[in-house]
Every structure is written in C-alpha cells, then in structure tokens.
Amino acid sequence: MAEKMLQFVRLQQRQPDKRDASARRADWDEVYRPYVAEAAAQQASRCSQCGVPFCQVHCPLNNNIPDWLKLTAEGRLEEAYEVAAATNTFPEICGRICPQDRLCEGNCVIEKGFESVTIGAVEQYITDTAWEKGWVKPPRPVRPRDGSIGIIGAGPAGMAAAERLHVMGYRVTIYDRHDRAGGLMIYGIPNFKLEKEVVLRRHEQYVEGGIRFELNTAIGRDVTLGELRRKHDAVLVATGVYKARDIDVPGAALPGVVAALDFLIASNRKGLGDSVPDFDSGALNAEGRHVVVVGGGDTAMDCVRTAVRQGAASVTCLYRRDRANMPGSMREVKNAEEEGVRFEWLAAPEAFLGKGAVAAVRAQRMHLGLADATGRQQVEPIAGAEFEVKADLVIKALGFDPEDLPAAFNEPALPVTRWGTLKVDHRTMMTALPGVFAAGDIVRGASLVVWGIRDGRDVAEQIHHYIEARGAAPAIAAE
C-alpha cells in the first residue's frame, strides 16, 4: 500500500467522515469516524515534504509532521508512531481536539489552492492504531535517580511533566482534588469530542508504569503547599484556571442561571456513571428545557452541543460579536449548527427575566464599531434594538480566570501577574519560591491541551536541571 508523496495534485483532501447530525444528536459518541488504513495512507501521501515545514513550525510541540506523514504513506505505522510519540505525550488526544485550522493545518503550504493535509486526523489514526496493536507501553524509568517530585494537578500539563520526570528516573506523585486524572480532558471536554476512555487508558498506563496518584486530595485544603515542599525535592503547580467570569446583569442570581463548567462537569460525570444529584434534580440537566448559552468560545460550543444531546427543547447561543469574530473553532460552530443550535450573533444579554426562576433572556443587539488600540473592533449597542429569548436554563460561558492561588495555598509569597496567573521566571519556569515550578493554564491563562503538554514537557527539563544543580543538597525547605 506504499504511496508516493506529493499526491495533493491528484488526491483531494478528505477529512474523516462525519456521522450524520441526527445520529450525533442522539448519542455521546465522537463525531468523526476514524480513517481506515487506506484513507490514512492516501491522505498522508498528499504532503509535499516541505524543506521548511510550516506545519511543524506552527505546531506548539514542533511535531516532526512530514516524517510521520511519509512513514504513514509507506505503511510503516509503528515507526510513524515512534516519531509522533517522541515529541507529543498524547498524540491521539491532540489529533482529536487541537484547533488544527489555527495551528498545523492552517499553516500547511498546500492549504493555498489545494486544502491542507489532514494532519490531525492522521496523527489520531497513527496513535489509535498503536493502542490497538499494543505499541503504546507504560512509561518506565531508564534508571532510578535520587529525587522526588510532587505535582499538583493531573491535567495535560501535570501528566506530561509526570511522564517525562518518571522516565528520567525521579519518584513522581501527582495530587489532584478530583477523583479521576485528566483535568479538563476528563471533566471539561465532552465525550463527543474526546471519548473518556482515551484519557482513562493513559491514566491506567501511568499507574502501571509506577507514577503515583493521590486523587481526592486538594492542596490548600487537605495538604498544605508547605507540607509538599518538605516532602519533595521540587513541586510543580499545574492547577489550571477555573474561576468562571460572571455576567453582571439584573437577574444573574436567579435559579436556572448556571456556570458552564458546573453544567459540563455534571454531564461528564453522568456519562462516566457517577451519581450526580444536581443532574438528577434537573438543576444541571437541559432535558426538555429552553436553553440559552451566553458566550462564543469553545466552552460555549461544548455547552450548546451537550444541551442538544441531553434533549433540550431549544438551544440558542448568544454572542456579542459576529461569526467571523468568534474565538471558538469554526469547525465546532459548524458542527453545532448542523446539530440544530440557533445562533444569535451580535447579541448580548441585558437581563435575565423571571419570577422565582429564569424564564427568558432580554438581549441587546450590538454592532461592531471602530477598532481599539489592539486592533479589535469594539462592540457597541444599537439603541432601541432589544429582543427576548425564552429560556428556563441559562448557561454562562464567558471564560475563566485563575483562582486566588496565594490565598488558596496560604502562600502570600507566591507572586501572581495582574491577571492572577502565576508569575514564573520564563527561563527556569520556577516561581519566586525556590523549588516550586508552575506550568499550563495557571501560567498562560486559559489555553489549549497542546500548550499544556508543551509546558509540562518543558518544565520537566527545568526541574531536572534544578535537581541536578542542587546535587546532594537536602530536600528543599519551606520558607
């Protein structure tokens, strides 16, 4: 089945088939059907093997994309997997949920005129095949080393750092306040984008490989940061960002107005078979309800599509800018439209109306005015242009800010930026507390899984340098 490269002139781009919208609405399975071997090889063979591969430059992990595409086209999948896994801790996850249109594929040189190589789908195919064939092995240390690392947060940043440090030979313990590992990959992102089994099997392999997990353990509540610092030679803070941005309008406190992540966590937990009283009581369940989601990012798209699958009577998304200026991925907007979501562009909530519980949203029509200093057009209200949307469940999806970590950890010496993210030395990734490092969304602000992985891998290297430089010095002391 070996394919020659540069086939983009002959072969059309073919993304994996999408399941029909009516079938998608009725279940929680992933939307795209995986490639079969022949389609993956053919699509990989469209790559023109650029001397300067812009796809690679624009991948946050600098994945060696042309090499694994060539190996896939030649049917050498085990080698393709090894190349893909050399730079990416979770290639099967990135292949599924990276916004490729803004990253690798959006910068593929054949995009102009021929449509890009389907890089993400091939990456997923390679790694799903590797799992099927048993090529993905639990991480094992090359040789044991002195040094114990405590990681707070089992999201992509914490997990990626843990894997690297464990393979280097350090003793690694990950602490997470949740009962499952994966961070937002398990409790934020819905099953129809990323099946939970894909995340859970990674966790199982890490446990098998010898990485320790202390779940149901919130640092700051159950254990202090000081205790962790005394116990470990270095500590990594990879706690993500979770404080929901609020909407300050009349009626915001009415029952039936809920935060996006509460809604998504309840839905994901239900899908995982947990007992979720707030879901069963109806408080966080869209079934039979008129749902309005406020916001235009990926979280908003996940909420509207979750509400559709829960059997909502209607789902409307209110966004204050237009379609072209949405922060969410265009692919997800299109999927949502196909699944029956109604979009009200250039509309912002003015009040949530209702007696005893929310019953409607009064919205204000907006228009895009002059650009501000950042070059982004300002949104301005159109006087007198208001309308109402029926809503007995309103989901606020306006983004996330960091929690007050110095207060939560009772560590006033932990410096933060004016946005509340942790301040680190960008060379060493260490905070002002010696031996305390930070990575992922808690440093960047709300970002992407692929950047979490990149930061996790980078910080592992920095922690290693730090421990090597300390030599046989005693474990770090709490201040």
Q: Is 44 in the site for ligand SF4 (CB under 6 A)?
A: no
Residue type, 138: P
* Chosen residue from 178, 196, 309, 464 binding ligand FAD by CB under 6 A: 178
Q: Is 117 in the site for ligand SF4 (CB under 6 A)?
A: yes
Task: Residue count of the chain, please give it.
Answer: 479
3-state secondary structure of 365: strand
Distant-in-sequence, close-in-space partners of 31: CB < 8 Å, separation ≥ 6: 18, 19, 24, 192, 193, 335
Q: Which stretch binds ligand FAD (CB under 6 A): 126-134, 213-221, 355-363, 387-395?
A: 213-221
Q: Is 154 in the site for ligand FAD (CB under 6 A)?
A: yes
What the block records as the tokens of 159 is 């997990």
* Chosen residue from 50, 247, 398, 478 binding ligand SF4 by CB under 6 A: 50
Query: In the window 62-91, what residues touch ligand SF4 (CB under 6 A)?
Result: 63, 65-66, 88
Q: Minimal CA–CA distance to 145: which of 172, 164, 162, 168?
A: 168
Residue 157 contact partner, candidates ligand FAD, ligand SF4, none, CB within 5 to 8 A by sort of partner: ligand FAD
DSSP string, 236-305: EE-----EEPP--STTTTSTTEEEHHHHHHHHHHHHTT---HHHHTSTT--TT-EEEEE--SHHHHHHHH
Residue 189 contact partner, candidates ligand SF4, ligand FAD, none, CB within 5 to 8 A by sort of partner: ligand FAD
Query: Cα(475)–Cα(470) distance, rounded to whole angstroms?
Result: 9
Q: Is 40 in the site for ligand SF4 (CB under 6 A)?
A: no
Pairing of strands 393-396, 257-259: parallel
Q: Minimal CA–CA distance to 92: which of 68, 126, 44?
A: 126
Residue 48 contact partner, candidates ligand SF4, ligand FAD, none, CB within 5 to 8 A by sort of partner: ligand SF4
Q: Is 156 in the site for ligand SF4 (CB under 6 A)?
A: no
CA distances from 319 to 14, 38, 261, 371, 374 (A): 31, 41, 18, 18, 20
Q: Is 239 in the site for ligand FAD (CB under 6 A)?
A: yes
Q: Is 452 in the site for ligand SF4 (CB under 6 A)?
A: no
**Bridge partner residues of 360 (DSSP):** 353, 390
* Chosen residue from 16, 53, 66, 158 binding ligand FAD by CB under 6 A: 158
Place of tokens 């072969």: 11
* Chosen residue from 43, 45, 100, 267 binding ligand SF4 by CB under 6 A: 100
Q: Is 126 in the site for ligand SF4 (CB under 6 A)?
A: no
Closest distance between ligand FAD and the C-beta of residue 27, in Å?
19
Q: Is 61 in the site for ligand SF4 (CB under 6 A)?
A: yes
Q: Is 304 in the site for ligand FAD (CB under 6 A)?
A: no
Q: Is 270 in the site for ligand FAD (CB under 6 A)?
A: no
Instruction: Check if the beta carbon of residue 169 is closer than 8 Å to that of residue 146.
Output: no
Q: Is 47 in the site for ligand SF4 (CB under 6 A)?
A: yes
Instruction: Check if the beta carbon of residue 337 is closer than 8 Å to that of residue 314.
Output: no
Query: In the window 431-470, what residues touch ligand FAD (CB under 6 A)?
Result: 440-441, 447-450, 452
Residue 175 contact partner, candidates ligand FAD, ligand SF4, none, CB within 5 to 8 A by sort of partner: ligand FAD
* Chosen residue from 31, 41, 110, 265 binding ligand SF4 by CB under 6 A: 110
b/e burial code for range 135-145 (CB count within 10 A of at least 16 → b) = ebeebebeeee
Pairing of strands 400-401, 243-244: antiparallel
Q: Is 307 in the site for ligand FAD (CB under 6 A)?
A: no
Instruction: Check if the beta carbon of residue 189 is closer than 8 Å to that of residue 97.
Output: yes
Q: Is 249 in the site for ligand FAD (CB under 6 A)?
A: no
Closest distance between ligand SF4 and the C-beta of residue 152, in Å?
25
Place of tokens 């979280």: 299
* Chosen residue from 171, 193, 309, 464 binding ligand FAD by CB under 6 A: 193
Q: Minimal CA–CA distance to 455: which of 97, 159, 178, 64?
A: 159
Q: Which stretch binds ligand FAD (CB under 6 A): 36-44, 84-92, 122-130, 152-160?
A: 152-160
Q: Which residues bind ligand FAD (CB under 6 A)?
A: 97-98, 152-158, 175-178, 183-185, 188-189, 193, 218-220, 238-240, 264, 298-299, 302, 440-441, 447-450, 452
Q: Which residues bind ligand SF4 (CB under 6 A)?
A: 47-50, 53-55, 59, 61, 63, 65-66, 88, 94-95, 98, 100, 103-104, 108-110, 117, 119-120, 123, 450
